[in-house]
Amino acid sequence: MKKHAVLTALGAVLAVLATACQTPPTAAPPSSPDCPYPDNVIQFNGDSLGIHIPRYVEVNGELVVNRSEPRAGFTYDIPFDPARNLPAVDSIGTTVKKWITQCGVPDLVIVQGGINDIAGASVPAATIQAAVTELSNWLQANQVPTLWVAVQPLSTAGSYMWSYPVRQAYNAWLTSGNVWGRTVNCAGVLQDPAVPDTLNPIYWQRVDLFGHIDGVHPNQAGYDVFGQCVADAATQALAG
């Protein structure tokens, strides 16, 4: 299979994990009214979950600038899909570097992601770790304060529980001192007490009138709890 066909197929798989938050394709270089960064910015990078989480990340004195991209992952780029008018998406690492290079070093960069690599692209933990290590080394070389977010617990009613061995292996690696900066795992506040490390049913997102469950994304109450967990960790990171 040719490279373009492989990437197009990958985009189709990852679209299942994306929310409806999409932006039209653009050939212009990145720009932002928040760029260059003032002295009180937290840059948030992630995937479709990252579109929502920053709304609940409140850190005293800090402006959270959201650079998340639906369908994004650590291990791949996605080309523009003209058939479905889906924009090209850079890897999370490329996006992190692009905005910091353009806008300056923020007070903190929060990096969330990995579920698209694991459950969308079926990438092994070692491959994700290699991509994250490369980004971590770049952030360390540029002395960027960093907070990494472990992959969230998933709903047992969804169709992605098969990905748990890779998710757990990646999370264990991420939170064991292998990356620059700090890490946070919010499973403790999101998990089902009856089935630890899976998403609490009160945070399941029902996607239609028939009660079908989104296996990856929480509901708004779940995002609220998730965001508060990340905000607490960010506050601690900024305090040193």
**Per-residue confidence (pLDDT) for residue 135, from 0 to 100:** 98
Q: Which two tokens stand for residue 154?
A: 């998933």
pLDDT at 12 over 70: no
**Per-residue confidence (pLDDT) for residue 202, from 0 to 100:** 98
> 140-190: per-residue pLDDT in tens?
999 999 999 999 999 999 999 999 999 999 999 999 999 999 999 999 999
Integer Cα distance of 96 and 98 in angstroms: 6
Instruction: Phi first, then psi: give them for residue 106, nearest 5 degrees.
Output: -80, 170
Tell me which of 12-16, 134-138, 170-174, 222-226 is least confident. Answer: 12-16
- What SS3 state is found at 223? helix
In a domain, residue 5? The reply is no
pLDDT at 15 over 60: no
**Closest of 239, 238, 206, 240 to residue 222, by C-alpha:** 206
**Per-residue confidence (pLDDT) for residue 211, from 0 to 100:** 83
pLDDT at 98 over 60: yes
pLDDT at 24 over 70: no
In a domain, residue 22? The reply is no
**Per-residue confidence (pLDDT) for residue 16, from 0 to 100:** 44
Instruction: Give the ranges where the chain is alpha helix by DSSP (H).
Output: 3-15, 48-52, 92-103, 115, 125-141, 164-174, 187-190, 220-239
In the chain, % helix, strand, coil (3-state, to 5) comes to 40, 15, 40
Mean of pLDDT over the chain: 90
pTM of the model: 0.88
In a domain, residue 139? The reply is yes
The fraction of the chain above a pLDDT of 70, given in percent, is 87
Neighbours of 238 (CB within 10 A): 17
Domain count, the chain: 1
In a domain, residue 7? The reply is no
DSSP 69-89: -TT--SS--B--BTTTTBPPB
The stretch 111-121 carries a mean pLDDT of: 98
**Per-residue confidence (pLDDT) for residue 34, from 0 to 100:** 83
**Per-residue confidence (pLDDT) for residue 30, from 0 to 100:** 54
Q: 178 is in which domain, residue-wise?
A: 36-68+92-239
In a domain, residue 219? The reply is yes
> 176-185: per-residue pLDDT in tens?
999 999 999 9
Integer Cα distance of 157 and 239 in angstroms: 39
In a domain, residue 203? The reply is yes
Integer Cα distance of 165 and 124 in angstroms: 10
What CATH number has the domain bearing residue 168?
3.40.50.1110
In a domain, residue 78? The reply is no
User: pLDDT confidence of 209, banded at 50, 70, 90?
Assistant: confident
In a domain, residue 106? The reply is yes
Burial of 5 (C-beta count, 10 Å sphere; 0-12/13-18/19+)? exposed
